A and B are shown apart, each in its own frame.
Chain A
Amino acid sequence: MAEHTGAKLINALRAPGRVASWNARTWTDVISLARRELMLGHLAAALEAGHITPPKRVQENLADALRDTFHNARRNRQEAERLLALLAPLGCPVIVLKGTAYTMAGIAAGQGRLSGDIDLLVPRDRLDVVEARLLADGWLMQKTDPYDMAYYRHWMHELPPMQHAERGTNLDLHHTIMPLTARLRPDAAALVASAVPLGDTGLIQLCPADQVLHSAVHLFYDGDLTGGLRNLHDLHRLISDFGTTSEFWQNLAERTTLHGLCRPMFYALRYVQEFFGTLDGLDPPAQPYKNGGARENVFYANPPIWPVLALMDILVTTRLKSVDAGPHSYRVRTSTLLLYIRAHWLKMPPRMLAKHLWTKWRRGKSEG
């Protein structure tokens, strides 16, 4: 069977030399897919790093993507600095998460990355004052429906998305990294306590191990894997970057235990290895997942039972490698639906979930 475009894109990110064999049609397919998955900038960065010169028309599209990521990063940095100035007088720690942190820190995961919004994390007991400060500065909640508001406030790990009235920038304000209703309950206080400076910006970011854990739960525990290729690539770049020292792996094992996130880390290491061969390039001591003694390893402490794992393999592979079949192909739709159900199952106890879906369905009907 012909290789899916998603698989081709992944292989090119892994080994940019592969693009030498691509014909025009493959390039057209890959440009389209990579743009849709917000991966065009990453492809551009990978080819640049590999000193590969693609055909001229491809170069133009990649140059566009790099311009886009450059200005996106600058805009997010400016916004983060504004937010720091706004929130600093409150004297509460403000942690920059995900893409904005990667690009501001200048790490590999930030190269070519597009971030649609700024993600910040503050301690939950300071959420009210931070929110009040933001609202006073012109940030507006994007959800105004009372049920949605209550849903976010009581159950989620973040407030409803906010947008600045004048600048149009988007902000997600988190107080932890998983919904409050989920069975897994990372230690939010420990996330804040172990945060580290973000370069010389005056802002702070999660410690490397927590960044990896956050990326893993975000990918595998927070939705139907829409944009999953980009998120898995984030994980790959983070682990490649941080994973060169045995201290990191020691630390990651400790933080995984502390936050109770063995399962998300299990999936993270399984799929970065399968898709990107991330662990291959790392020193043997830094390969807990691959070592023979893996069973004693925390990342293996709580693996899913084999039918679940087999199903996850199928769903994740379908969702990430066949993304080129388009969001509208039935195979992709089915796996998306199953992953969506899974994500909700993980997010809430069954009775709460039933009530939530019932409410959303009734509201959907009355609006339609």
Chain B
Amino acid sequence: MATHTASASFPCIIEIGPYRYRIDTPVAALRRDIARLYAEFPWLDSSHIADFSIQIKAPSIIRKFFRRNVHGITDLEMPFFPVPVHHALTCLEMSINWQTAMGSLRHLILHASGVARGDVSIIMPGESGSGKSTLAAALGYRNGWRFMGDEFALLDPNTGMHQPYPRPASLKNESIPVMQTEAPAEQFSQMFHNTHKGTICFIKPQKTAIEAMHVQAKPVMIVFPHFAANAEPKLHPLMQAEAFVKLVSGSANYDRMGEAGFRLLSTVVKQCSAYVLTYSSFDQAESLLLGALKELGHG
């Protein structure tokens, strides 16, 4: 496994779910970080075509030496500021997000995390800070669950299915120590302190989730997670129409998908039960979700 880690050559092409990214950077530390964080993903040689090209490098020659920072160069203009060179990995993750969200119309891209159980899946939309990433990452390390992605839930217009996109999950601030009790230490990246979102850390998906990254699942639940310490855990039903509107407003490309996007999302929302999940521990969240799945006949 991961024989490329020692000999990783750049530019590299990494396959993540349905997309292939050509990534290049002159920053040696970032190369090591990428090799480690993406070790279990397929690394392809240059006889493969990549969908998207991303470079992470210093914005000017001065910044290679003085107050060193880097920025991301994608196929699309990036509205982001450079970050200090020791935050380069966060810059790469942001660049991949931006490039994918703006560049792909092959899938309807929802701002949501996702988990699957067997051949059915749960889409968990939410704003930054709602706990959607942490919940998906945590469930992904529990028995019987499969991590489908922490930032984007992809829906395939051809099949109406949930397409896995199991990138390393981005954990922020308080969620980091919480996750450290859920997954082995070697699955975590180093901590990035003082970013514009506070402290960030990435956690790799389980290897099994990466191996199954081409296996689509049928979405049966849409769950808006809401972490609230000491709150009464509950799963509050939501009208499908409301779920639809919320998903649209959080979609990266719904407006550019046209009718295909509308048809796809209508079909998916109609086949799903929608809830708001209030929880203060992963155990509560897991048992509520299992209960709801069982009720829907997916026990």
Contacts and interface: CB of A to CB of B under 8 A. Distances in A.
Q: Do A and B come from one complex?
A: yes
Interface of A: 23-25, 27-29, 31-33, 35-36, 55, 57-58, 60-61, 63-64, 67-68, 70-72, 74, 326-328
Interface string B189-206: 000000000000000000
A67 B104 CA distance: 10
Interface in B6-21: 13, 20
B105 A64 contact: yes
A33 B75 CA distance: 7
B51 A326 contact: no
A28 B105 contact: no
A329 to B, nearest CB: 11
B50 A67 contact: no
Interface string B41-54: 00000111111110
B276 interface: no
A24 B49 contact: yes
Nearest to A40: B75
26 contacts: A23-B47, A24-B46, A24-B48, A27-B49, A28-B13, A28-B22, A28-B49, A57-B20, A57-B51, A60-B51, A61-B51, A63-B105, A64-B104, A67-B257, A67-B258, A67-B260, A68-B105, A68-B256, A70-B258, A71-B255, A71-B256, A74-B258, A326-B55, A326-B73, A328-B59, A328-B73
Contacts of A31: 49-51, 53, 75
Nearest to B20: A57
A334 to B, nearest CB: 13
A221 B83 CA distance: 36
A326 B106 CA distance: 26
B258 A55 contact: no
B105 A67 contact: yes
A333 to B, nearest CB: 10
Contacts of B260: 67
A57 B256 contact: no
B140 to A, nearest CB: 27
Interface string B24-60: 0000000000000000000000111111110101010
Contacts of A32: 22, 52-53, 75
A47 B57 CA distance: 34
Contacts of B105: 63-64, 67-68
Given A57-B20, A64-B106, A71 B257 contact: yes
A35 B76 contact: yes
A23 to B, nearest CB: 8
A367 to B, nearest CB: 15
A29 B52 CA distance: 9
Contacts of A36: 75-76
B84 interface: no
Contacts of B46: 24-25
Contacts of B255: 71
A57 B106 contact: no
B36 to A, nearest CB: 24
Contacts of A328: 57, 59, 73
A243 to B, nearest CB: 32
A31 B53 CA distance: 9
Contacts of B106: 60, 63-64
Contacts of B256: 67-68, 71-72
Contact of A64 (B22, B53, B76, B103): B103
A326 B57 CA distance: 12
Nearest to A57: B49
B197 to A, nearest CB: 24
Contacts of A24: 46-49
A33 B48 CA distance: 17
Nearest to B58: A328
Interface string B246-286: 00000000011110100000000000000000000000000
B165 to A, nearest CB: 15
Count chain B CB atoms within 10 A of each CB in A32, A35, A71, A72 and give the residue with the most: A32
Contacts of A57: 20, 48-49, 51
A259 B55 CA distance: 45
Given A68-B105, A71-B258, A35 B75 contact: yes
A55 B106 CA distance: 16
Interface in B149-173: none
A27 B76 CA distance: 17
A366 B255 CA distance: 39
A64 B102 CA distance: 11
A33 B255 CA distance: 24
Count chain A CB atoms within 10 A of each CB in B13, B53, B59, B255 and give the residue with the most: B53
Name the 3 nearest CB pairs between A and B, nearest first: A32-B53, A35-B75, A64-B105
Contacts of A28: 13, 22, 49-50, 53
B104 A58 contact: no
B53 A58 contact: no
A107 B51 CA distance: 29
A71 B258 CA distance: 6
Nearest to B57: A328
